[in-house]
Amino acid sequence: MFTGSAAERDARDPLAGVRERFVLPRDQIYLAGNSLGALPDTVAVRLERAVREEWGEGAVRSWNRADWIGAPRRVGDRLAPLLGARPGEVLVCDATSVNLFKLLGAALRLRPGREVVVCEGDGFPSDGYIAASAASWLAPGHRLRTVPRAKLLDAFDRDVAVVLLHHVDYRSAHRLPMTEVCEAARAHGVLTLWDVSHSAGAMPLELGRAGADLAVGCGYKYLCGGPGAPAFVYVRGELVPALEQPLQGWLGHRAPFAFEADYEPASGIERLLCGTPPILSLLAFEAALELLGALDPLAVRAKSEALGDFFIACAERECAGLGVEIASPRAARERGSQIALRHAEAYEVMQALIARGVIGDFREPDLLRFGLAPHYVRFSDVERAVHTLRDVLAQGAQRDPRYRQRNRVV
């Protein structure tokens, strides 16, 4: 289906109409949806109502009347099909880092006598920081075993309680085979905790079928939940009743408004709540899922793969001899939905691209990242982005001193 020129591919794209449902930066090519997903048209309408009617008019009564109190679980149930999870296995709350801390604490409790947390040495650093703090604060005597991504399957033994994995790597977009890793971990009694921040929304996930025990992920990337959107947790249904988490706040209590002196967790996934949820952000995320949840997940994945293949083909043709190297897997089945290119002046090159209307991002030390969100990126966007990259590199435009200026957020 996706062959021929960029225009022919766009003309045959079954998701072409979905782009119209997003508000995109005007006259820009937006390839940063792996960092902050674009704004779905369902969100502003929903937030307008939430602010004026539910907050303004309903005020405190809206906790019940508008079911604000049920939002973390309700939005979780709405997200569940995109993750391959069942109702009651997903909760939307807190930041990914906070959720990791909760789930790592819970996992250590579920595996008494095992003192090792396995963690990828080159994964997203915050996950490593959290794993180190969970091991030392929650379970003194526990230790991290940091292993390269390629050696994960060799790192399991009877000392390991839990392994923390990135389904799709934030730099290269390399994708781990989830079922195979889960099987290997299970054979040693090791729990799997997946960070699916870079896959959720861009491809169908099968957390249940693959045998994942626990998962976390960001709401603001391909899921388009908005800046600072709450993150999500997944817990395999059978594990929920036994799960104990370290942040025992009142909203995770069985009866928060009974104001009992002692903590007793809620019977369901709500036991992973801690404090009051950010209602406006939750409602924005829920509205985004109304749009994303209605799309055919196989069509989403097929387009994501095709966009990546097309990007690589264009970059190899246009940028040969210009100092860039493909840093993502060439085989689409081994990739997420972004393409990373290596270049010695990657930061400056990205600033030059942004100045020319191509918005991607940069990751240390030398990577240009281009997020190919299949919901709104066109093949013609990819083609223009690569042309612009070729022009920048051919002219040496990145050497302009203004592109050396480092921003706080890169």
Ligand X SMILES: Cc1ncc(COP(=O)(O)O)c(C=O)c1O
Q: Which residues are catalytic?
A: 124, 195, 220-221, 369
Q: Contact 229/220 with Cβ under 8 angstroms? A: yes
Q: Based on CB atoms, which residue is closest to ligand X, 10 or 120?
A: 120
Spatial CA neighbour of 47 closest among 281, 249, 207: 281
Q: How many residues bind ligand X (CB under 6 A)?
A: 13
Among 127, 305, 318, 345, binds ligand X (CB under 6 A): 127
126 binds ligand X (CB under 6 A): yes
Q: Based on CB atoms, which residue is closest to ligand X, 197 or 328?
A: 197
Q: Based on CB atoms, which residue is closest to ligand X, 231 or 289?
A: 231
List, in sequence order, every residue forming a beta bridge with 162; answer none if it has no partner.
117, 191
Tell how many helices (H) and how many strands (E) occur in the chain.
Answer: 12, 15
Min dist. Cβ of residue 194 to ligand X (A): 10
Among 22, 68, 101, 124, binds ligand X (CB under 6 A): 124
Q: Contact 145/160 with Cβ under 8 angstroms? A: yes
Angle between helix 125-133 and 96-110 (nearest 10): 40
List the structure tokens of 327: 């840093």
Among 6, 16, 95, 326, binds ligand X (CB under 6 A): 95
The dihedral region occupied by 267, where left means phi > 0, alpha psi between -120 and 50, and beta the remainder, is: alpha
Which stretch in 119-127, 133-141, 278-286, 319-327 sits in contact with ligand X by CB under 6 A?
Answer: 119-127
Q: Based on CB atoms, which residue is closest to ligand X, 1 or 410?
A: 410
170 binds ligand X (CB under 6 A): yes
395 binds ligand X (CB under 6 A): no
195 binds ligand X (CB under 6 A): yes
96 binds ligand X (CB under 6 A): yes
Q: Contact 146/168 with Cβ under 8 angstroms? A: no
Q: Cα(246)–Cα(408) distance, rounded to whole angstroms?
A: 32
- The 199-238 contact track toward ligand X, x by CB under 6 A, reads -------------------x------------x-------
Q: Cα(80)–Cα(83) distance, rounded to whole angstroms?
A: 5
